[in-house]
Chains A and B, each alone.
Chain A
Amino acid sequence: MTKEIQKQEVIVTGFGGQGIVLAGKILGMAAALGDHKESTLVQSYGPESRGGACCAQVIISNRIIQYPYVKTADALICMSQSAYEKYKDQLKPEGYLITDRDLVTPDGCREFFDIPATRMAEELGRKMMANIIMLGFVTAITALVSKAAAQEAVQSSVPKGTEEMNLKAFTKGFEYGVSKLKGKEKKATGQIGVTS
């Protein structure tokens, strides 16, 4: 019996300079090296080093991946409004929409998970770490990669000397995600009467 194909397709997108490709790389690395799955990361970016549209596409599977681009996404992670507008239609109806709350206003057609990742990174004193906070959040919300694999991948991908700071950022995002999930659960079971 051949194993059933379990394939997850992810788009991480935003502006050049936000660490979009690094976020995609950490996700792919966590899946490949930590969780021992197959994974592929492709990227697209403009000629500008900062400010242009940027997109990382990650496919995670239990089988060898041939075609490396995302057809329909199981998760769409947006860190800019223009990126959201460009890719929102590629997300599966049951897929996860995950956004930076201060940078993206979704059109309200579907449920989504948001985190003020950039603001939280600024509070930590490093705006650059918004991508790592976002990764922690994504790890908590989705089952794309295991927490241990993601942490390990963060540690080996960030500049030397910044590992601890980045892991702290990851944990912040992760914890935010866990409490967000709890909130949704409570809401779903009618334990709280307020709408968020």
Chain B
Amino acid sequence: MKSHVLTGEHFINGDEACAEGAIAAGCKFFGGYPITPATEVAEQISIRLPQVGGTFIQMEDEIAAMTSILGAAWTGVKSMTATSGPGFSLMMETVGLAVVTETPCVVVNVQRAGPSTGLPTQGAQADMMQARWGSHGDYEIIALAPSSPQEMFDLTITAFNLSETYRTPVFIMSDEIVGHMSEKVIIPEARKIKTVSRPRPTGRKDRFLPYKPGPNGVAPMPAIGDGYNVHVTGLTHDEKGYPVMSVETQKEMMARLLGKIRNNLDDIILTEEHRLEDADIVVVSYGVSARTAYTAVEEARQMGIKMGLLRLITVWPFPEEKIRSLAKRVKGFITVEINMGQICREVQRFAGLTPTYLAGHPGGAIIPPEDVLKIAKEALA
């Protein structure tokens, strides 16, 4: 059979690379609504999905787009949507439904400056806390932040794998700059790409408990039509999936929802370290801002400032242990992000008495490395 993966070297933008990553991961459904700067994801995947036997639907809005990918996931396929801030806001109610029904799906947010309509064609990273807490209730979520078109490809595959492994929505928190940036993207041979599919139930169909967790805390997931009883509800439910309005059931369900993420942090959290060994000051960054941070580290080192970089590839769950252990030996943290201090607050929470600083920006442009260097000099003075 001919491979669906476009193996080879390409010069494509982040949005297109994201669509190719989805195809390589085995995505077979995309429901979306076009919005700058995420439109190219939909555009590319609308061409590609029919070629691989998948389905693309342009829905009437982002509420429907998000709902459609849940429905598709329950038919047994891998599904995705892509949007930007205004659409992400509309999707939030259904994100909660995906969490509680443990529906694997991938949601791409190519962030632009807000609030509201904001600057449609200019980048930001100000939806990071919305990604964490945008839907009501307590929950854990997984969010990844790609820094390049290559990572838009690679991390889209990772996002699908994590979402299938843990039966949870996974966010790809990109931004306009990475989404619209073109670079060389190397797509490996299909057989070298690791893909994961959700555990499927086996055994007697009449005794099946759709929310009885397996060894890693995750229950096998049947597709509607497989013959297993399937009851999918946003209400608090027991192992059968039936609504039970009791505190006891709520406790059990919440323990499972939170536990499957919290007990697997080592598998989920991805970070990259650059020149941290002897660093006095650590720059914490993610997405496009990590490229500023990287440049700042190189320039700082030339000036004799011992700066290092901790790049968050996984932003949620937050790598708190990493910050705690660094805090014991460094003189300060600078968080570089295109917002007015979101992830910076998380760094602060785990930095103890070690000072934390923000190299932030209200949105619409990348942060220049000089801003980071200025803060570093002041911090070490």
- Which of A44-52, A80-88, A114-122, A168-176 lies on the face that meets chain B? A44-52
Looking at chain A, what size class is its interface with the partner chain?
20 to 34
A29 interfacial contact with B, CB 8 Å: yes
B295 interfacial contact with A, CB 8 Å: yes
B183 interfacial contact with A, CB 8 Å: yes
The tally of CB-CB contacts under 8 A between chains A and B is 58
B22 interfacial contact with A, CB 8 Å: no
A177 interfacial contact with B, CB 8 Å: no
B292 cross-chain contacts in A, Cβ below 8 A? 66-67
A41 cross-chain contacts in B, Cβ below 8 A? 13, 181-183
Asked if residues A68 and B181 are in contact (CB atoms below 8 Å), the reply is yes
Interface residues of A in 153-170 (CB under 8 A from B): 153
A38 cross-chain contacts in B, Cβ below 8 A? 183-184
Asked if residues A40 and B11 are in contact (CB atoms below 8 Å), the reply is no
A42 interfacial contact with B, CB 8 Å: yes
A44 cross-chain contacts in B, Cβ below 8 A? 121-122
Asked if residues B184 and A33 are in contact (CB atoms below 8 Å), the reply is yes
A32 interfacial contact with B, CB 8 Å: yes
A39 cross-chain contacts in B, Cβ below 8 A? 11, 183-184
Cβ-neighbour of B369 out of A40, A42, A45, A67 (below 8 A): A67
Measured in the bound complex, the distance between the Cα atoms of B294 and A25 in whole Å is 24
B320 to chain A, nearest CB (A): 26
Closest Cβ neighbor of B296 among chain A residues: A67
Known: A32-B11, A67-B369. A47 touches B181 (CB 8 A): no
A69 interfacial contact with B, CB 8 Å: yes
A33 cross-chain contacts in B, Cβ below 8 A? 9-11, 184
Measured in the bound complex, the distance between the Cα atoms of B121 and A47 in whole Å is 6
A8 interfacial contact with B, CB 8 Å: no
Interface residues of B in 86-134 (CB under 8 A from A): 120-122
Interface residues of B in 167-219 (CB under 8 A from A): 177, 180-184
A43 interfacial contact with B, CB 8 Å: yes
B368 cross-chain contacts in A, Cβ below 8 A? 67
Asked if residues B369 and A28 are in contact (CB atoms below 8 Å), the reply is no
Measured in the bound complex, the distance between the Cα atoms of B120 and A38 in whole Å is 29
Interface residues of B in 18-37 (CB under 8 A from A): 36
Interface residues of B in 128-172 (CB under 8 A from A): none
Measured in the bound complex, the distance between the Cα atoms of B367 and A68 in whole Å is 11
B260 interfacial contact with A, CB 8 Å: no
Known: A67-B291, A67-B369. A28 touches B11 (CB 8 A): yes
Looking at chain B, what size class is its interface with the partner chain?
20 to 34
B298 cross-chain contacts in A, Cβ below 8 A? 66
Known: A39-B184, A41-B183. A46 touches B294 (CB 8 A): no
Closest Cβ neighbor of B9 among chain A residues: A33
Chain B 293-319 interface mask (CB, 8 Å, partner A; 1/0): 011001000000000000000000000
B269 to chain A, nearest CB (A): 23
B366 interfacial contact with A, CB 8 Å: yes
Asked if residues B294 and A66 are in contact (CB atoms below 8 Å), the reply is yes
Measured in the bound complex, the distance between the Cα atoms of B298 and A67 in whole Å is 11
Asked if residues B184 and A43 are in contact (CB atoms below 8 Å), the reply is no
Interface centre among A28, A29, A68 (most CB of B within 10 A): A68
A9 to chain B, nearest CB (A): 13
Measured in the bound complex, the distance between the Cα atoms of B27 and A167 in whole Å is 37
Interface residues of A in 69-102 (CB under 8 A from B): 69
Measured in the bound complex, the distance between the Cα atoms of B63 and A123 in whole Å is 50
Measured in the bound complex, the distance between the Cα atoms of B288 and A61 in whole Å is 19
B121 cross-chain contacts in A, Cβ below 8 A? 44-47
Interface centre among A42, A43, A46, A47 (most CB of B within 10 A): A42
Interface residues of A in 140-156 (CB under 8 A from B): 153
Cβ-neighbour of A32 out of B120, B184, B294 (below 8 A): B184
Given contacts A67-B368, A69-B366, 19 further A-B contacts (CB under 8 A): A28-B183, A29-B11, A33-B9, A38-B183, A38-B184, A39-B184, A40-B182, A41-B13, A41-B181, A43-B180, A44-B122, A46-B121, A47-B120, A66-B292, A66-B294, A67-B291, A67-B294, A67-B369, A68-B291
11 contacts between A and B (CB under 8 A): A28-B182, A28-B183, A33-B10, A33-B184, A40-B182, A42-B177, A42-B181, A66-B294, A67-B294, A67-B369, A68-B366
Interface residues of B (CB under 8 A from A): 9-11, 13, 36, 120-122, 177, 180-184, 288, 291-292, 294-295, 298, 366, 368-369
Closest 9 CB pairs of A and B: A29-B11, A41-B182, A67-B295, A32-B184, A66-B294, A66-B291, A66-B295, A32-B11, A42-B181
